Structure 1
Amino acid sequence: MAVIHVPSPVDFHVHLRQGQLCSVVTPHVRKGGFKAAYVMPNLKPPITTTEQALKYKQELQNNDPETEYLMTLYLSPDLNPDEVRKAKRAGIMGVKSYPRGVTTNSDGGIESYEPYYPVFEAMQEVGLVLNLHGEVPSDDKTNACVLNAEEKFLPHLFSLHTRFPKLKIVLEHATSRAAVEAVKSLGSTVACTITPHHLAMTVDDWAGQGYHYCKPVAKYPDDREALRQVIRDGHPRFFLGSDSAPHPSLAKSTSTPSQSCAAGIYTSPILLPLTAHLLESFGALDKLANFVGEFGRRFYGLDMSTGNPIVTLREVEGHGVTIQESWKCGEDSLVPFMAGKRIRWEIV
């Protein structure tokens, strides 16, 4: 029976929500094999100040004090250079940028980066990371839609890196070969997160299937292969960010003419075994420890001492272990990715 020891895994992109949903999903980070999580700020209202981030962190700690929460701010007009410096002193790790209207709770997102140049200057100075949701809004005039929104965003990435070469930038949840090649072509201050579900799916998997719908959407087989290959290559600026995004099942399974299916795939409670299962499927299991831990920690400058927790996975004999169908959440439920399917790894 094969065993894998994974030092200090970190999920560098996770949504933990609010209220009752938050109380259910926050302990699932640790259930999925992680004791550190980089937390997204797109709540209602969004986390735009240091005080709000620290209050939210306390809520998360109340739900599960054994996990380390790495906090972020939402890029908005409320953010200025003084707040950036205050956030750095308080231990905030980064600032997340959402283009307006492209994903969940992004109605307050930005329409132009130029007004935020002073903020980026301050972030570059103090060492906060800029996390980019890399899509442009759909627009008939520019022929932009969900299938090319990421590729059309890439000029913004090049422009920001050119203007702020010392600013650490993470292009989040890449889905395309174009995005992979763009990040590879840039300097050491630009990195990229990859989700497990984008390693598994293509457009055929989410077309007509609400539980597989997320933003950005999965693309073509060649795009998926580019994501897999950069992991096989062991490129040190590509690492795990699950973008685990829980929605109650009613928001995923139903839609109306005025309300679309919620965008998001839930992976937190199965994250490390799922990632091992997928990497093994395309010949990259030997890259697991670097992909889920060392590369991301190194980019963010996090402690990599031997005192950090080691998570052990073991191969499941026979047909594997079945992923739980759902988790109860009030009167509704949360359905995880690959619910009811079998994977070959489990946490010891």
Structure 2
Amino acid sequence: MSGSAETISVSSPADFHVHLRQGELAQVVTPHVRQGGFSLAYVMPNLKPPITNTEQALLYRAQLQAIDPAVEYLMTLYLSPELTPEEVRKAARAGIVGVKSYPRGVTTNSEGGIESYDAYDAVFAAMEEAGMVLNLHGEVPSAAATNTCVLNAEPAFLPHLRKLHAKFPKLRIVLEHATTRAAVECVKSLGDTVACTITAHHLALTVDDWAGQAWHFCKPVAKYPDDRTALQEVVREGHPRFFLGSDSAPHPFETKATATPTQPCAAGVYTSPILLPLVAHLLESFGALDKLEGFVSKHGRAFYRRPVSESDKRAVLRRASSKVVGIEGYGAGQTHVVPFWAGKTIGWEMVEEKEDVSG
């Protein structure tokens, strides 16, 4: 990272967890990756139907490239009984990077998620050999019998992470969107093949911020103040196995703003359009602005073997004293989405590429 007190230049920011949806909604939200300062998007596969094979992933990538070809899209498959070792090898040869695991029913479009990891040993072994990444939504389903709910679902999942790492020590695993001190300590205790993404919104929120506030409700939910402190501490530490995965998840306005007795509001926080300025703003708030480039670029790129090169474009931020995120949002009707932080001030803004910031 380079820059003065008024501008910051960051090498090729990469978002290693983003939802770009499909159809008309994808047309609205996909350009926001670059608008928010990012040149690489690690794309989640939980569409309807989910992306479960190589052909579907390549078609989806082509659709995203047609919307904005300036972004590098890294594609993933949805872990399901359809996925075989042969398909893993085929996907790896086609350049597909990872496989995403969702426990059944814990988040958006996870109805086809898994119930047991043991059934996938052959798939994980093939991934280990092929160099693919296993991305874990690290929660277990709520269950009264085990006293499990959204507040302790992540700590209850961590034994699964430890077991998978012990069984497949060379398999690169990413615990996605960590929300607890227990998760941070667990990942730090494991080997160099285990990493962790942290979202922008989990660096800002606690339980009090989403209880009764639909726009802050996501899965996994934000936890206690000490958990948020743990996330901030590991970012401030500059730990190389913790990096940004925004989990930016757009939902139409009506599914976020309303709920009924039989239908809760959608789970997801949308940060893509403001992502790099927001991350800079948050890191500065807890004394970690000097760790921005590592967190949003170098650490994740190193783990995913997509290192920064001298030819990569840099994203430039400029200090802004009164940049307010608009509450009107983007799109209309079924594609109307409102971003996180709407109505609030961000201390940084993107500089257009055509602008001269050399001073």
Q: TM-score category by the smaller chain?
A: over 0.9
The reply on whether 1:51 has 2:38 as its aligned counterpart is no
The CA distance in 2 between the partners of 1:328 and 1:218, in whole Å, is 25
Match of 1:214 in 2: 218
Match of 1:347 in 2: 350
Query: Does the 8 A contact of 2:17 with 2:245 survive in 1?
Result: yes
By how many angstroms is 1:121 displaced?
0.1
Counterparts of 1:1-348 in structure 2, within 5 Å, are 2-316=6-320, 318=321, 320-332=322-334, 333-348=336-351
Residue type of the alignment partner of 1:334: V
The CA distance in 2 between the partners of 1:326 and 1:293, in whole Å, is 30
What secondary structure, in the 3-state scheme, does the structure 2 residue paired with 1:344 have?
strand
The CA distance in 2 between the partners of 1:240 and 1:296, in whole Å, is 7
By how many angstroms is 1:324 displaced?
1.8
Residue type of the alignment partner of 2:326: Q
Higher mean C-alpha deviation, range 322-331 or range 303-312: 322-331
By how many angstroms is 1:61 displaced?
0.8
The CA distance in 2 between the partners of 1:41 and 1:327, in whole Å, is 25
Query: Does the 8 A contact of 2:46 with 2:110 survive in 1?
Result: yes
Query: Does the 8 A contact of 1:248 with 1:329 survive in 2?
Result: no
By how many angstroms is 1:326 displaced?
3.1
What secondary structure, in the 3-state scheme, does the structure 2 residue paired with 1:62 have?
helix
By how many angstroms is 1:298 displaced?
0.3
Query: Does the 8 A contact of 1:322 with 1:340 survive in 2?
Result: yes
Higher mean C-alpha deviation, range 286-295 or range 254-263: 254-263
The CA distance in 1 between the partners of 2:210 and 2:330, in whole Å, is 24
By how many angstroms is 1:303 displaced?
3.3
Match of 2:356 in 1: none
What secondary structure, in the 3-state scheme, does the structure 2 residue paired with 1:264 have?
coil
Q: Which runs of 4+ in 1 moved over 4 A?
A: none
Query: Does the 8 A contact of 1:20 with 1:330 survive in 2?
Result: no
The CA distance in 1 between the partners of 2:307 and 2:198, in whole Å, is 22
What secondary structure, in the 3-state scheme, does the structure 1 residue paired with 2:30 have?
helix
By how many angstroms is 1:308 displaced?
1.1
Residue type of the alignment partner of 1:158: R
Q: Deviations over 1:149-168 (max 9, x none)?
A: 00000000000000000000
The CA distance in 1 between the partners of 2:105 and 2:328, in whole Å, is 29
Query: Does the 8 A contact of 2:330 with 2:338 survive in 1?
Result: no
By how many angstroms is 1:330 displaced?
3.3
By how many angstroms is 1:195 displaced?
0.3
The CA distance in 1 between the partners of 2:118 and 2:8, in whole Å, is 46
**Taking structure 1 as the reference length, what is the TM-score of the superposition?**
0.98
By how many angstroms is 1:256 displaced?
1.1
Equivalent pairs counted in the alignment come to 346
Query: Identity percentage over the alignment?
Result: 69
Query: Does the 8 A contact of 1:20 with 1:329 survive in 2?
Result: no
Consecutive unaligned residues of structure 1, counting only runs of 5 or more, are none
By how many angstroms is 1:8 displaced?
1.1
The CA distance in 2 between the partners of 1:292 and 1:202, in whole Å, is 22
By how many angstroms is 1:232 displaced?
0.6
The CA distance in 2 between the partners of 1:5 and 1:104, in whole Å, is 35
By how many angstroms is 1:314 displaced?
1.2
Residue type of the alignment partner of 1:293: S
The CA distance in 2 between the partners of 1:92 and 1:261, in whole Å, is 32
The CA distance in 1 between the partners of 2:215 and 2:120, in whole Å, is 35
Q: Deviations over 1:138-185 (max 9, x none)?
A: 000000000000000000000000000000000000000000000000
By how many angstroms is 1:118 displaced?
0.1
**Taking structure 2 as the reference length, what is the TM-score of the superposition?**
0.95
Q: Deviations over 1:309-335 (max 9, x none)?
A: 11111111x3x2011213333325211
